[in-house]
Chains A and B, each alone.
Chain A
Amino acid sequence: MRCEEMPELISALVDNELSSEELAAIRSHMAECGDCRALYEQERALKRQVRSTAAHVAAPAALRQKVQRLFNEQAPGKAAERKRTWQSWFALRALRPAFAVMLVVLALSPLVYRWWPVENVSLAALATHEEIIAGRKVPARVSDPQELRKQLAQAVDGKFAPIALDLSMIHLYPVAGFMQKIDGREVLVTIYQGDGRTVTCFTFLGDEADAPRAAELFYDPAMRMNFYSFSRGDINGVMHRAGKVICLVVSKMAPAKLLALVRAKPGHS
């Protein structure tokens, strides 16, 4: 075992989260390596310090009163019926920038409408996702993911295959798919569903110029990959390239969450 592999294991050792094999391996390495022993002591000291420091932060009395008032006003289970007044929405500081953006968008909407660029393939994909979740597009379900991939690859004469994403950790599985022509280009659409959520994965031949102009670019140095994040309404998309194939994952999930998901599982074609 090399020292470069150790930091993650040492960190897990401090948290007592190692398997017995890992524990045996790390013990034998640390018996010989002073640097790693020192790192272990540092991480332990850091954990202790973080714990003791943070314990001093307590909920302010004003917050306790506010939450208690909330409980007194609302019976549990009936809270779904609770109504927010417009003042209480505005009182939420985090939403204030959103209100400001809404005002600006409202003011500029005639201009935006006039200057909106010709729709590109990625933005059209977001619209397709919206149709799927609204139930306007209902493709036939295929229970076997392998069969689904095969059928989709055949739909484009085997020129490329849909990107296979493993989203099982958030309980999403491929349930349906179809080939869609957008602006004359063949796009394979795979629908992942589970837990009432839907994620749609679009695969097509292209390059990074297929990302919308307004997309935010994130570079992952470890994977040496560019990820483009963009939204339309509350639909968000994250696009990346695997060779000549473009993979675009679309969902209502928050952009950062979606980006983290795609970065964790960029999939393979």
Chain B
Amino acid sequence: MDTLYALRYNAWAVSASKVRNDERERFSSEIMSHLDHLYRFAFYLVKNEDEAQDCVQEACARALSSYRQFTPGTNMKAWLTRILHNFFCDTYQRSKRIVSIDARSDGAEDKESYWQHVPIDNPGPEKQFLRQELGQQIRNALKSVPEEFCAPILLVDLGEFTYAQAAEILSCPVGTVRSRLSRGRKLMQIALGKYAGKEDSGS
């Protein structure tokens, strides 16, 4: 009887550990599938490759620690992004000062110059160079926008999250996401206008 009990127990233990291993495998591979997104988000938030890597690594470690808190079937990408953003806020924002948006709005008038260079339709191969230039300008503009306004752009435009999901990730109301997106895009247009202005004066 004792032997029988032990055998049954062992069989249960083996199957439980197999389930755990399978779960672990699935969990890990799903995190890996979101790694590009997490790195992109971190990179434009901290604006530095090495620190972005640190952020993502720590976020993955935290995700693993709170593995049990994740509800299977819910949006893991949003859950991971929220962990990453919380880590970013805890670690990087302590000394950050909020800059008045009005102070950055000077020179908004010359933004049209940038938009004359934006290819609305697909450009031909001969315009590939121009497109690369524009890519660099967009990257620089994204880096120049303060985190407060940049994060919603990253979530909605890059992460393809809805406003409601972005609000959940940033722990703020949906209305705040909407207004910060609008202001963030305005700041980007101003930044892009400045680059275009520089190019014009250089040529």
Contact = CB atoms under 8 A, between A and B. Distances in A.
B189 A46 contact: yes
Nearest to B23: A76
Contacts of B64: 70-71, 74, 76, 79
A79 B65 CA distance: 4
Contacts of A103: none
Contacts of B192: 46
A10 B36 CA distance: 29
Contacts of A63: 35, 39, 53, 56-57
Interface in A93-107: 93-95, 97
A93 B57 CA distance: 12
Interface residues of B, number: 72
Interface stretch (A153-161, A216-224, A242-250): A216-224
B136 to A, nearest CB: 8
Given A45-B120, A221-B102, A216 B61 contact: no
Nearest to B40: A57
A59 B35 contact: yes
Contacts of B83: none
A58 B157 contact: no
B39 A58 contact: yes
Interface SS of B by simple majority: helix
B127 interface: no
Contact of A45 (B66, B118, B173, B176): B118
Contacts of B51: 93-94
A63 to B, nearest CB: 5
Given A45-B120, A51-B158, A76-B67, A257 B134 contact: no
B198 interface: no
Interface stretch (A11-19, A111-119, A183-191): A11-19
A77 B157 CA distance: 33
A92 B50 CA distance: 10
A220 B183 CA distance: 14
Given A46-B185, A49-B138, A254 B157 contact: no
Interface of A: 7-8, 10-12, 15, 17, 41-43, 45-47, 49-54, 56-60, 62-64, 66-68, 70-71, 74-77, 79-80, 82, 92-95, 97, 169-170, 216, 218-222, 254-257, 259-261, 264
Query: Nearest 3 A-B pairs (CB), nearest first?
Result: A76-B67, A59-B39, A11-B182
